[in-house]
Chains A and B, each alone.
Chain A
Amino acid sequence: MTDALHILSLGKGGWGGALLLAAGVTFALSVLGFLLGALFGAVAASGRLSTRVVPSRLAKGYGTVFRGVPDLLTIYLLYYGGSIALTEIGKFFGSAGFVGLPTFATGVLAIGIISGAYQAEVYRGAYLAVDPGQFEASKALGLSRFQSLRLVIIPQLMRHALPGLGNVWQLVLKDSALISVIGLVELMRQSQIGAGSMREPFVFYLAAAALYFLIAAVTGSVFRYGEARAWRGMVHA
């Protein structure tokens, strides 16, 4: 196993540095994708909760499609389809060349769209879990609609949403590995490159698994801490 240590060392000829850097890309990709997904998810959740038919149907369709189609296909579709769409838009504005979305941006967008579909469900459930009396109470206090959302509803909503969001975050982190198929050198692709050129697949995939596990464990405890804080002073039912 000294061989494996040498391969994974941080020094010259070792792949340790490259793998750590790639893990950083994985983390950045996941965080940005998750945040974009929060935006998509919030919009879709408010659509689902709307009493009007069109937003509600649209939001439901969005959730059904992106939770039902393999993430791999969504990623490929965005990668190829995204450029075609952008090029068409570019043509409209008079640009003659191809307009490409960089792989990192494509990855963030893909993770955003996929995780948004899952986050929408979490937000919807959390919103419904907030006691309706809270809305009435904040109205009685004379708070505007926006004020009552910001000061009363969202803090309570986050309390209910955090466990679900923690799950979606874990899903996002693991989904980011699929972005490797469009050529972004994140942790998975870097391990594949290493496994191929050193012909040591076991060492590299094990190292990748360990790094993913580490990121998942550390960020998971952050979510648990946030959950504990959100519930402080409350007694669990």
Chain B
Amino acid sequence: MIDLHFFVEIIPTLLSGLPLTLQLAGLSIAIGFALALLLALAQQGNHRMLVWPIRAFVAVFRGTPLLVQIFLIYYGLGQFRPTLQAVGLWWVFREPYWCAIIALSLNTAAYGSEILRGAIQGVPRGLVEAASAFGMTRIQTLRLVVLPLALRQAIPSYSNEIVLMVKGTSLASIVTLMEVTGIAQGLISQTYRAVEVFVAAGAIYLTINFAIISALNALETWLTPYRVRA
């Protein structure tokens, strides 16, 4: 029933999509994290003009499917070429690669900012007060006290988000990008052996995500040396 030879044959083909999958995931997670941090910090100030638009952005990107976001950004904005050309942004939206990166980054930034906002709020108030009693400036407090603690606190939730993003890159094939899932679909159209191909592709994603979770677990343990392992 299970044809091992077939798996051995298709895995190298599937792996040829791995660099693109990792690139899409890596770049959008990095950009998304930077944006998420900015959005989370911007909401600390409680300026209404700043907080409301951010809340709206977060609500929209968390409240709609990533698939819709990708379609809207790629095919939807493709309709507005003259306008995008006029503002000099067409070169970005022309490329499926950048459209996918934009959609994935904005999506993860929305989720990430909520995780980081919660983590920043979770830093005990006494620590912030102690820092200012030491004569630290607000920036110093943020950089030396609040962020290190908040980021460590956020690792478990954020690693979930990273796994969701790696999974999310599988949607890039709908905008013509040939990452692992796109290649899997191509293989199926050549072999018509859908089940075997999807199992093999699934195993690749599972391996990536397993590696990510293990690495982040190790990072968390390393950052909390005082915590005795249960």
Contact = CB atoms under 8 A, between A and B. Distances in A.
Interface of A: 64-65, 67-74, 76-77, 80-81, 84, 170, 173-178, 180, 188, 191-192, 195, 200-202, 205-206, 208-209, 212-213, 216-217, 220
A77 B60 CA distance: 30
Given A68-B209, A177-B65, A195-B71, 8 more contacts: A67-B163, A77-B202, A175-B65, A178-B67, A180-B67, A200-B79, A201-B78, A208-B68
Contacts of B194: 76-77, 80-81
Contacts of B210: 64, 68
B76 A206 contact: yes
B80 interface: yes
B190 interface: no
B76 A202 contact: yes
A60 B154 CA distance: 23
A111 to B, nearest CB: 13
Contacts of B199: 77
Interface string B165-179: 001111100000000
Contact of A68 (B64, B77, B163): B163
A69 B76 contact: no
Nearest to B74: A201
Contacts, number: 113
Nearest to B67: A177
Interface residues of B, number: 36
B contact face: mostly helix, strand, loop, or mixed: helix
Given A73-B202, A202-B72, A84 B209 contact: no
A205 B75 contact: yes
Given A205-B68, A212-B65, A195 B75 contact: yes
A177 B195 contact: no
Contacts of A72: 170-171, 181
A201 B76 contact: yes
A77 to B, nearest CB: 5
Interface of B: 59-60, 62-69, 71-72, 75-80, 163, 167-171, 181, 184, 194-195, 198-199, 201-202, 205-206, 209-210
A208 B181 CA distance: 24
A97 to B, nearest CB: 20
Contacts of A180: 67
A145 B163 CA distance: 38
B64 A209 contact: yes
Contact of B198 (A77, A191, A202, A213): A77
Given A67-B163, A70-B181, A202-B80, A212 B68 contact: yes
A69 B75 CA distance: 27
8 contacts: A81-B198, A177-B68, A201-B78, A205-B68, A206-B72, A209-B64, A209-B68, A212-B65
A65 B72 contact: no
